[in-house]
Each structure stands twice: as C-alpha cells, then as structure tokens.
Amino acid sequence: MTAPALHLAGRLHSGETTLIDAFDLKLPAEQWSVLLGPSGVGKTTLLRLIAALPSAARLEGDITACDGAPIASRVTMMAQDDQLLPWASAVDNVTICARLRGERPRPDRAKALLAEVGLADLAARKPSHLSAGQRQRVALSRALYEDRAIVLLDEPFSALDAMTRHTMQDLAARLLAGRTVVLITHDPAEAIRLADFAWILTRAGITPCDLPCSSPPRAPEATATIAAQAALLQRMRLIPATVAS
C-alpha cells in the first residue's frame, strides 16, 4: 500500500461566515499530521471533507491526493465516540463496515487484529462489557481492518484516562506506521507526542507548529518534548478557545 500526501487549499465557510481564511496545506505522505485549534474553527469539518462525508460547511477550494487518485475509497475515520454497535460483539464490530458494503467478513483477520491490540480474549464481548479503552481498541481494530492508506483520527483518545491514552497513542503510532494519518486533538501533549507535522487552525488561516527533532511517538519526559508542549500551550492560549459562527 502506498499512502499519498494530501493537499488542502482554499477557504472554509459556514453559511456567510468564513471559518478558516485562505490556507494551502500539504499533509505529507506516510506521516502523522496533527491539527489543533479552537472549538468550532472547523477541524472536524475539514476531516469530513477529506473523507468526502456530508458537511454543513463549504470549501471554496480543493482537497486532493498528491498522486492524483481519488481519496474517498482510500480513507477510514476513527472518532472520539467509538461508534460501536451495542448489539454486536467486538469481532462483529470490527467487520461491520465490510458487511455493510456487502463483502464477506473475515472473522479470522478481525480476531488477529483484536489480538494485536490486546483483546484476543474479548473478541466475543459486546461493547457494554468492555471498558472505554477496550472499546477504543476495538475501534482501532476496525480502522485497521479497513486497511486504508489514509486514516483520519478525530480526537480518538480524548475520552480516555491518562494511562490508557498513553498506551493507545503508542499502539496507534505502531499499527498505523506507513499510512497518511491526520489527527485532530485539543491536547498539546498528545500533539507533540505523536506529530510528524502539526498545524494550528484559526479563522485567519493555518500555521505550522515547532516540533522536537526526535521521531514520534516521543518520550513524554524528554526535555525537548516538555519544552515543545509548553511552547505550543503558550501559543494556543493566545487564541480564543472557541469560534462563534
């Protein structure tokens, strides 16, 4: 699988309001690109536009893959809400998208992926009998089962406790290596830990963030990681926390 770079250019509008003014963003191939910004600025909207999902906003511009091939068939998305079907087992939740497309499910492959995320013994459990972290592991397995070159992550770890989040970050970094990943987060620590590249979205446009020279996932206790987090937090504190549209 070759994962493409993505090119996002234009202006993002919601009705008569400009959410994000002129931007021209290249999200590099096979890297983690992290998007931060105030609530309501349009982060989820941009992700949905990349995935060609319906959106209330309008992009005056283009989203393209740099290899020229269509994007939609090469994308999978993982959200903060695990979006598991409550009546289906973990293994059936992993294969659900394939089954909805009318494809024959491959439970052995789904179980192997559940084993990869440490849930080999819980494949038959329903979501109500799993912890929040375990449910997010199932959601990650589902994204991996889709085996898409482009993976969109919309605050997937934000509802988890600190230790589980840390474990999930490591797991996702390892299992999604080689794909073009776009992660939305509000957490400067998560951004600095996971980003190959990071940008802050504001109404005025999109600007890059400074990152340590080391490769992600970065050790949280490293001096450079802590300094970059502090600098990013400082920058974000200067931006209004929410955007009114």
Ligand X SMILES: Nc1ncnc2c1ncn2[C@@H]1O[C@H](COP(=O)(O)OP(=O)(O)OP(=O)(O)O)[C@@H](O)[C@H]1O
Q: Can residue 19 be called a binding residue for ligand X (CB under 6 A)?
A: yes
Number of C-alpha atoms within 13 angstroms, CB side, residue 74? 19
Return the residues of window 37-56 that contact ligand X according to CB under 6 A. Answer: 37, 39-45, 56
Give the contact letters, 56-95, x = binds to ligand X (CB under 6 A), - = no: xx--------------------------------------
Helical residues (DSSP H) of 51-187, grouped into ranges: 90-94, 96-100, 107-116, 132-146, 162-175
Nearer to ligand X, 13 or 126 (CB): 13
Nearer to ligand X, 33 or 44 (CB): 44
Sheet with 17-27, side-by-side order of all strands: 17-27, 6-14, 58-65
Nearer to ligand X, 202 or 229 (CB): 202
Nearer to ligand X, 15 or 70 (CB): 15
Q: Which stretch binds ligand X (CB under 6 A): 23-31, 36-44, 86-94, 166-174?
A: 36-44
Q: Which of 18, 83, 164, 245 binds ligand X (CB under 6 A)?
A: 245
Interacting residue ranges for ligand X, rule: CB under 6 A: 14, 19, 37, 39-45, 56-57, 243, 245
